[in-house]
Amino acid sequence: MEQEFGITELCTLADLSARTVRFYIQQGLVSRPTGEKKGAKYNKSHLDQLLSIKKWQAAGLSLERIRELLVEPNSNDVPLRPKWPGMVEVWSRIHIADGVELNIEPNRAGLAPEELRAFLRQVMEAYTTLTEEKQ
């Protein structure tokens, strides 16, 4: 039998207020519980939905974007949105040397943090090799 939680226990596990959980349900971000009012019961899938919302909010995503992501529950990655005029993106600007910078948006580049660090090491090594050959 699947473990069930009351609203208080669910809120404690997710570290959210009951008001917030109810708002997410009202907005269609979290599935409705079984039962109603004081008899409402929640399960692990409700908890997982709430934790995903918290994770994505911490990453700076809007509730609208989170709603889109919840449609694809089997994906741990944040799918990329198509670009449009006026879209705001956060890019990393990495100083390689005087006059040499690398601009990168790791999510669009498809690089995990460790892959990005390895890529940057290789770029720095390539730049060092080129400049040493000139001397």
User: Can you tell me the distance from the alpha carbon of 108 to that of 110, in angstroms, rounded to the nearest whole number?
Assistant: 5
Average pLDDT, stretch 86-109? 83
Closest Cα partner for 13 from 56, 58, 43? 43
Closest Cα partner for 9 from 58, 35, 46, 56? 46
- What's the confidence (pLDDT) of residue 80? 56
Most confidently modeled range among 16-30, 62-76, 95-109, 112-126: 16-30
Q: What pLDDT digit, counting tens, does each position of 53-86 carry?
A: 988 888 777 888 888 777 765 555 555 566 678 7
- What's the confidence (pLDDT) of residue 109? 76
- What's the confidence (pLDDT) of residue 81? 60
CATH topology of domain 7-70: Multidrug-efflux Transporter Regulator; Chain: A; Domain 2 (1.10.1660)
Q: Which amino acid is at 30?
A: V
Global pTM reads: 0.53
Residue 9, pLDDT > 90, answer: yes
Average pLDDT, stretch 108-135? 86
Give me the long-range contacts of 108-113 (CB less than 8 A, separation at least 24).
108/80
- What's the confidence (pLDDT) of residue 108? 73
CATH 1.10.1660.10 spans which residues of the chain?
Answer: 7-70
User: Can you tell me the distance from the alpha carbon of 44 to that of 55, in angstroms, rounded to the nearest whole number?
Assistant: 16
Q: What pLDDT digit, counting tens, does each position of 12-52 carry?
A: 999 999 999 999 999 989 999 988 887 889 999 899 889 98
